[in-house]
Amino acid sequence: MFNVLTHRVYRHLFFAQVIALIGTGLTTVALALLAHDLVGGQAGVVLGTALAIKMVAYVGIAPLVGAYASRLPRRTLLVSLDLLRAAVVCALPFVTDVWQIYVLIFLLNACSAGFTPVFQATIPDILEDEAQYTQALSLSRLAYDLENLLSPMAAAALLMVMSFDVLFVLNALAFAISASLVISVLLPASQPLEEIPGVWRRISHGLQIYLKTPRLRALLALNLAVSAAGAMQIVNTVVLVRSMLGLGEQEVALAFAAAGGGSMLVALLLPRLLDRLPERPVMLLGGMIMALSLYLGWLGPSFAGLVGLWWLLGAGASMVMTPTGRLLKRSCQPQDRPALFAAQFSLSHCCWLFTYPLAGWLGLNVGMTEAFAMLGTVALTATVLAVLAWPRRDLDTLLHEHFPLTHSHLHYHDEHHQHEHEGWEGAEPHSHPHTHSRQVHRHLFVIDNHHTRWPL
């Protein structure tokens, strides 16, 4: 997995990602302490609202940025968003009221909703080799898991020698270092993009590609399974360990670490496994593992049993999330990657926006045993829907028919554009009125402006 770090451009971007993640983890802890300083025992309500605002920013902003990201210089966009995040975090120590937290959290996560999909869509343009790209996906998954494990411990150690306000400053410094690492490399230019008329059509372009592609509709269902399992683990661990099992803070940390440990182990093993198997059986198995783990929680496990269940949840989630980038890369034209990665970012967080409050409400009002069962049913139903939506023979090259069409758009002279010119059209890619005749042919198929429906 670590061989991919010999690629200089990717290495700089990867460490930019890691440093930004560590800084964000410090802010998570500092934000909880800031909320407690402001409202005392109601800090949980403030944090829950901030989490909901974060998800709303992710869901609403990502498609908007994805619609226009290909029209902007990548490096300038990423650096600008990093510096904006640094400025917002620097403002957090000066907060005096709860509403100010909400505004700053929205701004911070609006920038993240722009940064993350563009960053993710840039990696396959840097690592065109499929094996290297798979290694990069696993390494990215490992980075997220390590951040979840190490950032709280790092924050605890720092708080022994400094106030929590300094953690915000360290996060701003992390974003600044991330920006400097992005500046230090040249990123490939965005592919020329066909002009799509209308703001809404531009914003919804990535969503349309996503929802018209069978394997991505299955991915959306699996995202729901991941969010059902993850919400149960994130929202209810402290209640299960402290209130129901009567254990302490160390056991809470161990339970969270178990999910991260399962996810990391799978991330380490997946590159070799995906050399031998397609994504479909691996990801569907991950969905089934998560559903089974939630149903086993119905038995009211001991602490050791809960650790085992959380380990399985983490492993199953990693089996789904790690190969996601490969599916997205396969399912669009290079110029549509920012829009499609933004659609994945937005739709997956829609699932979390649904399951976070559901897990909390079920645990509080129905009971933990019933919460396990009901969220297990959500995960199982989502996985079954993914099985039905994802064709067993998921071929890349498909036979399909084009109907006669006359239109104008930016194009190269590829297999869909073979026509005469009068000399004024200019260099490729260029735009002028042209006619497509009826034809039936077979080639690598993705949804785009020439292929608006998946062939039956």
Which of 77-81, 114-118, 131-135, 147-151 is predicted most confidently? Answer: 77-81
Please state, in angstroms and rounded to a whole number, the distance separating the CA atoms of residues 205 and 207.
5
User: Hey, which residues does 432 pair with through a beta bridge?
Assistant: 409
Give residue 363's pLDDT band: very low, low, confident or very high (50, 70, 90).
confident
Predicted local distance difference test score (pLDDT) of residue 192: 52
**Mean pLDDT for the chain?**
83
Predicted local distance difference test score (pLDDT) of residue 255: 82
DSSP of 97-113:
SHHHHHHHHHHHHHHHH
Q: Which domains does the chain have, with CATH numbers?
A: 1-190 (1.20.1250.20), 204-394 (1.20.1250.20), 396-408+434-456 (no CATH)
Of 16-30, 36-50, 213-227, 391-405, the least confident: 36-50
Q: Higher-confidence residue: 46 or 86?
A: 86
Please state, in angstroms and rounded to a whole number, the distance separating the CA atoms of residues 203 and 65.
8
Q: What is the pLDDT of residues 87-143, one digit of tens each?
A: 999 999 999 888 998 899 899 988 988 888 888 888 888 888 888 888 888 888 777
Mean pLDDT of 306-330: 92
Give residue 267's pLDDT band: very low, low, confident or very high (50, 70, 90).
confident
Predicted local distance difference test score (pLDDT) of residue 301: 83
17-29 burial: b if 16+ Cβ within 10 Å, else e: bbbbbbbbbbbbb
Q: Is the pLDDT of residue 193 over 60?
A: no
Predicted local distance difference test score (pLDDT) of residue 149: 66
Predicted local distance difference test score (pLDDT) of residue 202: 62
Predicted local distance difference test score (pLDDT) of residue 293: 95
Which of 27-36, 176-185, 410-419 is predicted most confidently? Answer: 176-185
Q: What is the pLDDT of residues 195-205, one digit of tens each?
A: 555 545 666 78
For the whole model, what pTM was predicted? 0.79
Give residue 284's pLDDT band: very low, low, confident or very high (50, 70, 90).
very high
Cα–Cα distances in angstroms (integers) from residue 455 to residues 7, 205, 217, 301, in the given order: 38, 19, 15, 48
Q: Rounded to an integer, what is the distance from CA 325 to the centroid of its chain? A: 9
149 token code pair: 């494990």
Find out whether 286 and 318 touch, Cβ atoms under 8 Å.
yes
Predicted local distance difference test score (pLDDT) of residue 133: 85
Predicted local distance difference test score (pLDDT) of residue 434: 72
Mean pLDDT of 5-23: 89
Q: What is the dihedral of CA 155, 91, 57, 72, to 10 degrees?
A: -110
